[in-house]
Amino acid sequence: MSELRDLYQEVILDHNRHPRNFGSLEEASHEADGFNPLCGDKIHVHLLVDGDRITDIRFEGSGCAISTASASVMTELLKGKTLEEAKALFHTFHDLVTGKTDGDLATLGKLAVFAGVSEFPVRVKCATLCWHTTQAALDKSADAVSTE
Ligand code: ZN
C-alpha cells in the first residue's frame, strides 16, 4: 500500500494546487451548494447536462486539500459521463472512502488513491462533499447540502 500512499499524496497535492475545472459555468443547467461544517469545506458545483450526459462541470469554493482535490478529480471523471455512469461512480467512490470496497483498485484509476481516506474517518466527509453536492444538483432535491 505504500506506493498507493505516495500516489495519494501526489494526487492530493497536485489537484489542490492546480484544481481542474475550477470556476463558474454561466450556462449551467444544474447547480447546488455543499457545506461540511466539521471541516469548513464549502463547494458550489455547476453542471451542464445535455440529454442524459454531463457535458460540462465546474466547481468553486474553498476547503481543505482533500475536499478541493476530490472535487477536482471528480470533475475530470464526470465530464462526458452519462447520469447513469455518474451514479455508479458515486457509489464506487463512496464504498472506496468508507473502506467497503472489495473491488480491484487497479480498475478505479485515479479514484483509487482516495482509498487512503478510509483510514481517516473525519476526512471521509471532506472527500465525499463534492459527490453529495453533485448528486443533489442532479436530483435538484435541495438548495444546500450539509454533511451533517
Ligand atoms: Zn475538509
Confidence (pTM): 0.89
Contact in structure between 97 and 78 (CB atoms under 8 Å):
no
Report the separation in Å between the CA atom of 30 and the middle of ligand 1, taken as the mean of its atom positions: 24
Fold exhibited by the domain 2-146:
Sufe protein. Chain: A (3.90.1010)
44 forms beta bridges with 33, 60
Report the separation in Å between the CA atom of 130 and the middle of ligand 1, taken as the mean of its atom positions: 11
Is the pLDDT score of 52 beyond 80?
Answer: yes
Q: Give the lowest-confidence range in 15-19, 39-43, 86-90.
A: 86-90
Report the separation in Å between the CA atom of 52 and the middle of ligand 1, taken as the mean of its atom positions: 31
CA-to-CA distance for 62 and 35, rounded, in angstroms? 10
Higher-pLDDT residue of 20 and 101 is 20
Report the separation in Å between the CA atom of 114 and the middle of ligand 1, taken as the mean of its atom positions: 14
Report the separation in Å between the CA atom of 124 and the middle of ligand 1, taken as the mean of its atom positions: 9
